[in-house]
Structure 1
Amino acid sequence: MTLTIKLTKSTFKKLESEWYNYHHTLKEIAKLREEIMNPYQPEEINHEGGQSNLPSQPTERMATRLTTSKQLNYLTEIVDAIERVYNALPDAYKKMARLRYWNKNGKLKWEGVAIETGVSERQARRWRNEIIQATGEVLGWR
């Protein structure tokens, strides 16, 4: 038996905003990775003469920076959750998600989403609720 945690209103809104911003977040992740792998400033210079806590090999240093970036890890976790939920959806749900969240012509209103998917507005909103709930469960948010 799985226990479903009811999402708070603010969590629901945050998760839905992550769906809207999915493509922007992908770009942000790519930018962060690029900045970490090719820093503008040289590594911190240790003027004290003691050992640094970073590995001495450049590749190891880069790997350490990539794995310890809280922002990069946070954004990657969100993107992975969205992709996991999206890939598990039935085709009709996927179409609804693409129309509502990833439409290049701007956000469709529920009426337009319903017409395009061939379901009622109420059903389209139920699907949205299920998608956002599943995303929250994958992330462990409440």
Structure 2
Amino acid sequence: MPTVKERLSGGTFKHVEGELYYFHETKKELRQIKDGVLHTKANLPNVQRVQHLERVVEAISSVYDELPKEKKRLVKILYWTRPQQYNWEGIANQVPISKRQAQRWRKSIVEDIANRLGWR
């Protein structure tokens, strides 16, 4: 029997979006921490941070990898293009889809990532 999807709180939605915006920086930070841990043999204060970063990177990567190319394009334009030069109409035109469809895709992608992270 299918389960009813819980609605994400606004705070959780924004938090997941923040993780998406800074995904590449998070991957870089994770590499740097791991390199530091490897050189110092166990920097214990970083263990929880590393675990958190790994979970976030894995969740975003796995959701992104499963997306069709049009949705990947939306993610790239919306979250990973800096400076952001498009409003919703412009983003939708770049994909190309309707503004409303772009917003629905965004919501679905963010919810999928939140589900992978267990952030409900």
What is the TM-score when the length of structure 2 is the normalising length? 0.89
* Correspondence for 2:37: 36
Gaps of 5+ in 1: 40-61
| Partners of 1:72 and 1:80 in 2: CA distance | 12
TM-superposed deviation, 1:138: 0.7
Number of equivalenced pairs? 117
Structure 1 residue 97 corresponds to structure 2 residue 98:
no
Q: How does 1:1-142 map to 2 (within 5 A)?
A: 1-39=2-40, 62=41, 69-103=47-81, 105-107=82-84, 108-142=86-120
Superposed CA deviations along residues 55-110 of structure 1, whole A, max 9, x for unmatched, are xxxxxxx4x668x800000011001000111011111111100111111x422322
Measured on the aligned residues, the alpha-carbon RMSD in Å equals 1.7
| Partners of 1:2 and 1:93 in 2: CA distance | 24
Indicate if the aligned counterparts of 1:16 and 1:132 stay in contact, CA closer than 8 A: yes
| Partners of 2:55 and 2:49 in 1: CA distance | 10
Superposed CA deviations along residues 18-49 of structure 1, whole A, max 9, x for unmatched, are 0000000011001110111112xxxxxxxxxx
Indicate if the aligned counterparts of 1:5 and 1:137 stay in contact, CA closer than 8 A: no
Identity of aligned residues (%): 34
Indicate if the aligned counterparts of 1:19 and 1:101 stay in contact, CA closer than 8 A: yes
* Bigger Rg over Cα: 1
| Partners of 1:84 and 1:3 in 2: CA distance | 23
Divergent runs of 4+, >2 A: none
